[in-house]
Amino acid sequence: DQQVKQNSPSLSVQEGRISILNCDYTNSMFDYFLWYKKYPAEGPTFLISISSIKDKNEDGRFTVFLNKSAKHLSLHIVPSQPGDSAVYFCAASGRNSGNTPLVFGKGTRLSVIA
Amino acid sequence: DSGVTQTPKHLITATGQRVTLRCSPRSGDLSVYWYQQSLDQGLQFLIQYYNGEERAKGNILERFSAQQFPDLHSELNLSSLELGDSALYFCASSVLDWGGYYNEQFFGPGTRLTVL
């Protein structure tokens, strides 16, 4: 039973345009959400997070939106750059969400084409 | 460089064998986490240790075990290996307990295990 779902395995975007990566979750006890970025042959690195008390968090070119009623979050990258090409993992956490501190989706591979 | 180190980087072994993966957390981090990433799968949480004690357990097989030592490094032992155990194994660490919840998990580069 996947509690965090990223339904698009891959996404291709032109350089300079907006990249939108989507994520859905099922566990209503999650109240903290994160995006991690992973390059080949490296471990995932933290990108941006959002608490459930907010609906938007922005950090430079990266913005995460949270829609609690829809149990949906998205990551916007504007403008997209070739160096953004990587696998992006959505993750969720909650103090009382279960026996796993951080639950990951399967990832979306983003390719930014120059 | 996250500050989390994992050894070895690559490991090739045969079915039925036993291997040990090692992780050194970032200086000052008390929590260590182990994850498995198989082909086309996300990061599957295996187990967490906090200051030497088992804190949380995920989908870890009975053939797998882990421990965290007094110097806070951790080892993941995989025994009676099967072809399906071939995967990337990541270690992560965090300062506090329940990493990911308002305190970041920092990941190592992973160990790629191939079982032939």
pLDDT digits (tens, 9 = 90+) for A25-34: 999 999 999 9
- Closest residue on chain B to A88 (Cα): B42
Neighboring chain B residues of A91 at a CB cutoff of 8 Å:
100
Buried b (16+ CB within 10 A) or exposed e, A43-82: bbebbbbbeeeeeeeeeeebbbbbebeebebbbbbeebee
What is the bridge-based pairing of β-strands A72-77 and A19-25? antiparallel
Give CA torsion, residues A102, A105, A106, A109, to 10 deg.
Answer: -110
For residue B25, cis peptide bond before it (omega within 30 degrees of 0):
no
Are A100 and B56 a contacting pair at CB < 8 A? Answer: yes
Interface of B with A in 79-108 (CB under 8 A): 90, 92, 98-102, 104-108
pLDDT at B106: 94
Are A46 and B102 a contacting pair at CB < 8 A? Answer: no
Q: What is the mean pLDDT of residues A5-18?
A: 97
**Chain B interface includes A32 (CB < 8 A):** yes
CA distance B107 to chain A (A): 5
- Closest residue on chain A to B3 (Cα): A43
Neighboring chain A residues of B35 at a CB cutoff of 8 Å:
104
- Mean pLDDT of all residues belonging to chain A: 95
Question: Counting Cβ atoms within 10 Å, is residue B112 exposed (0-12), middle (13-18) or buried (19+)?
Answer: middle
**Chain A interface includes B39 (CB < 8 A):** no
pLDDT at B39: 81
**Chain B interface includes A101 (CB < 8 A):** yes
**Chain B interface includes A104 (CB < 8 A):** yes
pLDDT at B85: 96
Q: How far is CA A98 from CA A4, A33, A95, B57, in A?
A: 13, 15, 8, 10
pLDDT at A2: 87
Confidence of residue A36 (pLDDT cuts 50, 70, 90): very high
pLDDT digits (tens, 9 = 90+) for B10-22: 999 999 999 999 9
Reply yes or no on whether the pLDDT at B97 is more than 90.
no
Reply yes or no on whether the pLDDT at A1 is more than 80.
no
CA distance B96 to chain A (A): 11
Q: Which of B32, B37, B43 to mutate to test the interface with A (most CBs of A within 10 A)?
A: B43
**Chain A interface includes B110 (CB < 8 A):** yes
Chains A & B: contacts with CB separation below 8 Å: 69
- Mean pLDDT of all residues belonging to chain B: 94
pLDDT at A103: 93
pLDDT at A110: 98
pLDDT digits (tens, 9 = 90+) for B37-63: 998 778 999 999 999 999 999 989 999
